[in-house]
Amino acid sequence: MNLGVAKIKKQNVRINFERLKRTIIKSSQIGTIPGDGLCRLALTEEDKIMRDIFMEWMDEAGLKVKIDDYGNMYGRREGLSDLPPVLVGSHLDTQPNGGRFDGIIGVLAALEIIRTLNDNNIETLRPIEIVNFTNEEGARFEPPLLGSGGATETFDKDFIYNRKDREGKTFEEELSKIGYKGEMSNRVKDVHAFFELHIEQGPVLENEQISIGAVEGIQGMTWLELKVTGESGHAGPTPMSLRCDALMAVSKLIVHIEKKAKCSDADTSVTVGRMSISPNVVNSIPKEVIFSLDIRNKDDAVRELLIEDLRKELQEISKVEKVKLEIKDLWEVKASYFHPGLVKQVVSSAKECGYSVKRMVSGAGHDSKYINQIAPTCMIFVPSVGGRSHVETELTLDADIEKGANVLLLSVLEISNNKKIDELNKESLPSY
Ligand SMILES: [Zn+2]
């Protein structure tokens, strides 16, 4: 089959930003909350309204729409062949106090790519499918990434359908109620490549004044819970030398954790985000402190070694402080490594447009994490003003959205004219 791919590919094609902006504004009017934010929780009335509009937009763009049994929405633009498609998209749901851009620009830019290809009569060798994944945020039904996790069989159907929101309503009931329970046979499979444009949700690109992040993977993460037990007593009559103060001991543990993390690797991050103190009274010596520890690194080996060392060293410090330390494992996620050939493509698409670009690793989870298990995957990041996300004031500037969408367009165009999956797979994984 010789389809003259060189003729199909058009240089200098760019998205229509004014049109993309209009779709973002329309989305920003659904689930609006004070302070420029959005509350569009998965499978609510607001989610349904957004989905209905997205469905109309896909129809108008001539896409063949499918819905799977988790409510993931796909719109297909046929190619000149029936080779596996290039998939592009993200999610349209938000946090309860979410912003207008997280996930949303990834879906709406995917739609804009289709419209741009239509405007310019550009055909591609492979079909292109755009996608809106259900319940990425996990704000209503925990855990996050249920749509992409279901489609890739990371979670089974019983597990997903029985997730309950705070009012006890199940995922399945709510999916049926909004009319988006589709067919299992429509689930994503046999994909040539997946691209997800997303806001960075951190401050790195803005700080370095770089427009595009070519994302090489997602950090691995461990959650631990540490319980420190000492002895309570009156804050007045008990001399300092005779105390077993759990909180004073914890402060030493945390200082050690920070010091150790800084020595381990520049990419390591540790966070103590939650703490409870008992009895939590002004004039009582704390008897028990329970705190969480979130540890991340792009390299699983670095993270694992750090945890192994901390387990030993924190016990030693606790002994000196005369307190008892118990460490509980809460959760662990391994690092994801995206496809090096696609990362390279994103870098070269950015350069072709004349935009600054940096290879980076995502600190947050995304639908790409699960799609990466079944298909070569890559993400494109655009700057978040002040690194803010999951807040009403989340902001990505128009110029940056436009650049991100153009890089997405050129990358999708290039890869959708790529004949064999082998051409993507011949490169080895990165050596982090
Ligand atoms: Zn997101």
Of 280, 301, 332, the one marking the end of a domain is 332
Do 25 and 88 have their domain in common? yes
Report CA(346)–ligand 1 centroid distance (Å): 19
Q: How far is the CA of 91 from the centre of ligand 1 (A)?
A: 7
Q: How much distance in Å is there from the Cα of 236 to the middle of ligand 1?
A: 51
Chain center to CA of 267: 18
Q: How far is the CA of 389 from the centre of ligand 1 (A)?
A: 9
Q: Is residue 431 part of a domain?
A: no
Co-location of 165 and 24 in the same domain: yes
Question: CB 308: neighbour CB atoms within 10 A?
Answer: 10
Which residues contact residue 138 at a Cβ distance below 8 angstroms, ignoring those fewer than 6 apart?
A: 144, 145, 146
The CB density around residue 282, as the number of other CB atoms within 10 Å, is: 5
Q: Supply the CATH number for residue 85's domain.
A: 3.40.630.10
Q: Please check whether residue 193 lies inside any domain of the structure.
A: yes
430 found inside a domain: no
Least confident of 275-279, 286-290, 329-333, 355-359: 329-333
pLDDT band at 266 (very low <50, low <70, confident <90, very high): confident
- Whether 161 is in a domain gets the answer yes
* Residue 64 domain flag: yes
Domain count, the chain: 2
Rounded to the nearest angstrom, the distance between the alpha carbon of 380 and the centre of ligand 1 is 12
Residues 243 and 273 both lie in one domain: yes
Which string of DSSP letters, residue by residue, matches 270-310? EE---EEEES--TTB---EEEEEEEEEES-HHHHHHHHHHH
Q: Are residues 212 and 352 in the same domain?
A: yes
218 phi-psi bin (left φ>0, alpha ψ -120 to 50, beta other): beta
* CA of residue 331 to ligand 1 center, whole Å: 20
Could you report the per-residue pLDDT of 312-367, keeping only the tens digit for each?
A: 999 999 999 999 999 999 989 899 999 999 999 999 999 999 999 999 999 989 99
Q: Which domain holds residue 406?
A: 5-218+335-425
Distance 274 CA to ligand 1 centre (A): 23
Do 115 and 145 sit in the same domain of this protein?
yes
CATH number at residue 271: 3.30.70.360
Strand 128-133 versus strand 324-333 pairing type: unpaired
Is the bond preceding 279 in cis, omega lying within 30 degrees of 0?
yes
- Which of 280, 315, 332 represents a domain boundary (last residue)? 332
38 CA distance to ligand 1 middle (Å): 13
Residue 49 φ then ψ, to 5°: -60, -45
Q: How far is the CA of 223 from the centre of ligand 1 (A)?
A: 21
Q: How many whole angstroms separate alpha carbon 189 and alpha carbon 181?
A: 18
Same domain for 305 and 377 = no
Q: Is the pLDDT of residue 428 over 50?
A: no
Q: How many CB atoms lie within 10 A of CB 334?
A: 14
Q: Are residues 92 and 9 in the same domain?
A: yes
pLDDT at residue 419 in the model: 65
Q: Report if residue 310 sits inside a domain.
A: yes
CA of 64 to the centre of ligand 1 (A): 25
Average pLDDT over residues 32-46: 96
Q: 277 falls in which pLDDT band (50, 70, 90)?
A: very high
- Residue 241 CA to ligand 1 center (angstroms) comes to 51
pLDDT in tens, 177-222: 999 999 999 999 899 999 999 999 999 999 999 999 999 999 999 9
Region of residue 280 (left: phi > 0; alpha: psi -120 to 50; beta: else): left
Q: Name the domain boundary from 332, 364, 395.
A: 332
Question: pLDDT at residue 427 above 90?
Answer: no
Report yes or no on 82 lying in a domain: yes
Task: Say if residue 224 is in the same domain as residue 210.
Answer: no
Alpha carbon of 103 to ligand 1 centroid (Å):
4
Tell how far the Cα of 152 is from the centroid of ligand 1, in angstroms: 18
Looking at the structure, do residues 192 and 72 belong to the same domain, yes or no? yes
What confidence tier does 3 reach under pLDDT thresholds 50, 70, 90? very low
DSSP for residue 170: B
Residue 286 shares a structural domain with residue 275 = yes
Whether 432 maps to a domain, the answer reads no
In this structure, the answer to whether residues 63 and 197 fall within a common structural domain is yes
Q: pTM of the prediction?
A: 0.88
Could you give the 3-state DSSP secondary structure of residue 22?
Answer: helix
Please state, in angstroms and rounded to a whole number, the distance separating the CA atoms of residues 61 and 70. 24
Q: How far is the CA of 330 from the centre of ligand 1 (A)?
A: 23
Together in a domain, 202 and 253: no
